[in-house]
Structure formats: C-alpha cells, structure tokens
Amino acid sequence: MGLAIYVGYVLVIYAVSKLSGVAYTEIGTSAEFTWRGAVLDLAVGAVLLAITTWFLGWWKPALFERKRSHHKWPIFVPALMLLVAVLNLFNTDWSKFDASFLLSLLALGIAVGFCEELMSRGLLLTAFRSRLPEVWVWLLTSVLFGAMHLINAALGAPLSNTLGQVVLAAMSGTSFYIVRRVTGSLLWAMALHGIWDIAAFSVGFAPLGTAWAAYLTPVIGILAVGVVHWVIKGTDEKPVQPTLAAAAARS
C-alpha cells in the first residue's frame, strides 16, 4: 500500500510539473516559474495525499507518535539544520524579491513541507510500521525520500547535481525522522522542511555573499545518520490493529 501511494504521488508530481512547461532549474528564479513549476504540482499532490490519508483513516498515525523517543538529545542535529537555514535567510538579498515572489516562496515551503513529509514520514512510515522493524522503517523512508528527487533530472536538472541531491536528501530525511521521534509530531518536521527549502531557494537566487552555511549540509546529514540509532532504540509504533482496518470500515 505504501509503495503504491509513493509511486502514484511521484507520477502525479512529474506529470503536473511536465505540463507546466517550467524546467526544474527555473524554479525559484521568478514568481511565475515558482508558482507554475513547483507550487501547482505540490498543491495537486497535497489534495490527493489528504484524500488518501482520510480514506485510509491514517491521519493520527501519520502525524503523531504514540510514544516519543526516550532520548531527546539527538534533536541537536535538526536544531543545527534550522540554524543553517536561518543563516541562509540572513544571507539573502531580499530587495530582489517582489511581493508575488515572496508569496510563491512561502507557498513553496508550506507545500513542500506538507507533501514530502506526509508522503515519506507520514504515509510510507505508517505503512512500513505495520510490517517492518523500526530500523528498516527509518532506512527505507529516508532512501525513498531521497530517490523521490530523481524526477528533478527528468524535469531538466543536471543528472550529476540530481544524484548529489538524492544522497543529501536521504540523509536530511534522517533529520526530519529524528524531529518526528523526539517531538512526537510530524508537524514540526513539516515546518523545518518548509523553512529549509525556502532558505535554500532564496539564497540560491539572491545571495549577499558566499552561502557558507550550505556547506554544512553534508555534515548535518552525517551527524543525523550517526545519532539516529538512539531515537530508533526501543521504538514500538506498530499499529495495535492493522492500519487497513480503518480503510475497510470506510468502504
């Protein structure tokens, strides 16, 4: 079930993005390209994901942990990620953005945070938890989150850059997983993800100087992978009843 939802989501994002006529490399370079090339497909994806989550009756397990991680200290890695995002925001020349451009970036951040987190560390995670040990849940959701970005190459991004993005996204996905386990809520992971993307696109378009903070991204990923064991340890979030029971009840 989880993989079917994942493949369907990726195909929808690809199809709508392709129809927009905006190359991936043009997203974040103007208000029009950001609205058409990113916000539009994510808005469609958000509606479909919300309907799917409602139909399956998975809102609660997708958004919340029954019991948070006993170890709270690994949250320092997502906190470092937030710091890097804030530094990138301060290193952005905001005079180069008009109101529509700013709104498009804000919409992009909200949509990315909602869609990619609900898809990866919401629905996929919920589906995998019904069958797999938590270490595999973390690993597969992170790897599939990274692999999701392969469609960027099909949308005009250079393949070499895309492959690097896939690896970094898989590692950063571990940071978002840590947020979920430590806070007990996917909502905080959505917020961090949104801020991260807004900062990345804004500083990428109009940097005041060298975006030195961005060089910390691989370090953050390595740290996340290094400490994730402590938030996985002792996790028992397997559904008390098969999660498909709620969907069957709605049929």
Q: What is the pLDDT of residue 249?
A: 53
CA dihedral 215, 216, 217, 221 (to 10 degrees): 140
Q: What is the pLDDT of residue 247?
A: 52
Among 137, 138, 191, 142, which residue's Cα sits nearest to residue 167? Answer: 142
CA distance 123 to 34: 26
Q: What is the pLDDT of residue 1?
A: 79
For 51, phi then psi, to 5°, come to: -65, -45
Q: Which two tokens stand for residue 207?
A: 């940097």
Q: What is the pLDDT of residue 248?
A: 53
CA distance 4 to 56: 13
CA distance 27 to 69: 37
Instruction: Give residue 92's identity as a one-letter amino acid code.
Output: T
Q: What is the pLDDT of residue 207?
A: 95
Rounded average pLDDT per 10-residue block, the chain, 251 residues: 93 96 94 96 98 97 95 97 95 96 98 98 96 95 96 93 94 96 98 97 93 85 96 81 52 50
